[in-house]
Amino acid sequence: MTKLHQRVLHWLGADPFQVSHSERLFAGGAAMISVATCWLISIQLVGAPLALLTITPSAAAAILLFAVPHATLSQPWPAIGGQVISALIGVACAQTLSPPWLAGSVALGLALSAMYYMRCLHPPGAATALLAINGGDSIQALGFSYAFLPIMVNALILVICALLFNNLLSRHRYPAAWTKKPTFLTTPGQHGEIKAEHLHIALAEMDRLEDIAEEDLLEIITRAQAAAARKPMTDSYVDNNSSRDRP
């Protein structure tokens, strides 16, 4: 592969994922089993036609929960709260606005902002909000109960499956808060300058996909090192600043 080819792929965001074949197959298998479980339970609860419609957001969520289980968007509160909040907004817009293109656009915008404020940003919530509007009479007949059965139930099933499957592997922790914190910190320059290729190697050794570009990760590390050099943060400083913008 030529350098020009590599550069083009890099700019297109098509860099190869630094995960093993076993990791890829595990994620696919876990998603398949989890969505099948969710689908079968939905059929029992709401019938096959409705289950067929409402499984789409769950399938999208499964990609996040099993491909990038450590990402912020994949954590339990976003996976459940983002779906329910988006569903409620979608139903409200379906009942108060027309035509559908207007109701859907407003629902999407409101759902995105609401998920931001509620700290549960979850992309599949967009499909959940729109489905409340364009899912047809069978979906709209559910009213606000759509947000709880089947949407919340499906989300809960996926999170339970994520807890079961992701924790089978030692390199995975779900929720991400269960990940062991480092017991030491390296000071800036202790082992030389960290470059993007070093992060590339580190991610390959960890054998898991992180939902952040290596360039952004490198900038975070660089800024963190600069901040640590200026003023080491105490536990109280972290606690105060982590809660300063909470509503």
Q: Same structural domain for residues 113 and 158?
A: yes
Residue 167 and residue 194 share a domain: no
Instruction: Please tell me the total count of domains within the chain.
Output: 2
Please indicate, yes or no, whether residues 169 and 198 belong to a single structural domain of this protein.
no
160 domain-assigned:
yes
66 with 172, same domain: the answer is: yes
**Which tens digits make up the pLDDT trace of 172-228?**
889 988 865 554 445 444 556 777 677 767 777 777 666 676 677 778 888 877 887
156 phi and psi angles, rounded to 5 deg: -65, -40
**242 domain-assigned:** no
* pLDDT of 237: 46
Residue 215 inside a domain? The answer is yes
pLDDT of residue 192: 62
Render pLDDT for 41-63 as a digit per residue (tens, 0 to 9): 999 999 999 999 999 999 999 99
Summarize pLDDT for 81-94 with one digit per residue, the tens. 999 999 999 999 99
DSSP-assigned beta bridge partners for residue 192: 190
pLDDT of residue 118: 97
Q: Is residue 22 part of a domain?
A: no
Verify that 217 and 158 share a domain, yes or no.
no
Q: Is 12 within the bounds of a domain? A: no
Angle value at C-alpha 62, between 114 and 66, nearest 5 degrees: 115
> Is residue 221 in a domain?
yes
Residues 172 and 190 in one domain: no
Distance CA 57, CA 80 (A): 12
Are 122 and 73 in contact, with CB atoms under 8 Å apart? Answer: yes
159, part of any domain: yes
The domain boundary residue, chosen from 137, 157, 176: 176
Task: Give the phi and the psi of residue 65 in degrees, each rounded to 5.
Answer: -65, -25
Residue 222 or residue 35, greater confidence:
35
Say which residue, 182 or 64, is predicted with more confidence.
64
At 225, which amino acid appears?
Q
Q: Which of 70-79, 160-169, 175-184, 214-223 has the weakest average pLDDT? A: 175-184
User: Structural domain of residue 194, as residue ranges?
Assistant: 184-232
pLDDT computed for residue 16 by the predictor: 64
Maximum C-alpha span of the chain: 64
What's the pTM? Answer: 0.80
